[in-house]
Amino acid sequence: MDKIEFTIPNMECKSCEAAITKKLKSIDGVKDVNVDLQTKRIAIQHDNPNLCQDDLTCAVEDMGYKVQVA
Protein backbone atom coordinates (compact mmCIF):
# COMPACT_ATOMS: atom_id res chain seq x y z
CA MET A 1 0.00 0.00 0.00
CA ASP A 2 1.30 3.45 -0.92
CA LYS A 3 1.13 6.55 1.25
CA ILE A 4 0.79 10.16 0.09
CA GLU A 5 1.01 13.15 2.43
CA PHE A 6 0.44 16.87 2.01
CA THR A 7 -0.71 19.96 3.90
CA ILE A 8 -3.96 21.88 3.49
CA PRO A 9 -3.23 25.30 5.05
CA ASN A 10 -6.79 26.64 4.82
CA MET A 11 -8.44 23.60 6.47
CA GLU A 12 -9.84 25.29 9.56
CA CYS A 13 -12.53 23.15 11.19
CA LYS A 14 -14.01 19.70 11.71
CA SER A 15 -16.49 20.37 8.91
CA CYS A 16 -13.61 20.99 6.46
CA GLU A 17 -11.88 17.86 7.70
CA ALA A 18 -15.02 15.75 7.23
CA ALA A 19 -15.69 17.08 3.71
CA ILE A 20 -12.10 16.50 2.57
CA THR A 21 -12.02 13.03 4.10
CA LYS A 22 -15.30 12.09 2.40
CA LYS A 23 -14.09 13.37 -0.98
CA LEU A 24 -10.77 11.51 -0.78
CA LYS A 25 -12.37 8.25 0.40
CA SER A 26 -14.63 8.35 -2.66
CA ILE A 27 -11.60 8.02 -4.95
CA ASP A 28 -11.02 4.50 -6.27
CA GLY A 29 -8.26 2.74 -4.35
CA VAL A 30 -8.11 5.07 -1.34
CA LYS A 31 -8.16 2.85 1.73
CA ASP A 32 -7.49 5.25 4.61
CA VAL A 33 -7.40 9.01 5.19
CA ASN A 34 -5.83 10.43 8.34
CA VAL A 35 -6.22 14.13 9.03
CA ASP A 36 -4.43 16.13 11.72
CA LEU A 37 -6.38 19.36 12.06
CA GLN A 38 -3.72 20.85 14.37
CA THR A 39 -0.91 20.56 11.83
CA LYS A 40 -3.24 20.64 8.80
CA ARG A 41 -1.48 17.50 7.48
CA ILE A 42 -3.26 14.74 5.67
CA ALA A 43 -2.01 11.21 4.97
CA ILE A 44 -3.72 8.97 2.44
CA GLN A 45 -3.08 5.26 2.00
CA HIS A 46 -4.11 3.68 -1.27
CA ASP A 47 -3.63 0.53 -3.30
CA ASN A 48 -4.36 1.90 -6.76
CA PRO A 49 -1.19 1.80 -8.90
CA ASN A 50 -2.70 4.35 -11.30
CA LEU A 51 -3.41 6.90 -8.56
CA CYS A 52 -0.86 9.69 -8.19
CA GLN A 53 -0.42 12.60 -5.84
CA ASP A 54 -1.80 15.03 -8.42
CA ASP A 55 -5.09 13.09 -8.53
CA LEU A 56 -5.52 13.58 -4.79
CA THR A 57 -4.35 17.18 -4.59
CA CYS A 58 -6.54 18.18 -7.55
CA ALA A 59 -9.59 16.63 -5.85
CA VAL A 60 -8.92 18.76 -2.76
CA GLU A 61 -8.17 21.90 -4.77
CA ASP A 62 -11.42 21.42 -6.73
CA MET A 63 -13.19 21.80 -3.38
CA GLY A 64 -11.62 25.25 -2.93
CA TYR A 65 -8.75 24.33 -0.62
CA LYS A 66 -5.08 25.11 -1.12
CA VAL A 67 -2.59 22.25 -1.07
CA GLN A 68 1.09 22.37 -0.15
CA VAL A 69 3.24 19.42 -1.08
CA ALA A 70 6.47 18.96 0.82
**C-alpha torsion sign, points 46, 50, 54, 58:** negative
Q: pTM higher than 0.85, yes or no?
A: yes
Block means of pLDDT (10 residues each) for the chain, 70 residues, are 95 95 97 95 96 95 93
Q: What does DSSP say about strands 2-7 and 30-36: parallel, antiparallel, or unpaired?
A: unpaired
On whether the CB atoms of residues 60 and 67 are closer than 8 A, the answer is yes
Quote the pLDDT of residue 1: 86
DSSP bridge partners of 30: 46
Q: What is the pLDDT of residue 20?
A: 96
CA distance 25 to 17: 12
- Ramachandran angles phi, psi of 16, nearest 5°: -60, -45
Q: Where are the domains of the chain?
A: 2-61
Which overall architecture, per CATH, does domain 2-61 show?
A: 2-Layer Sandwich (3.30)
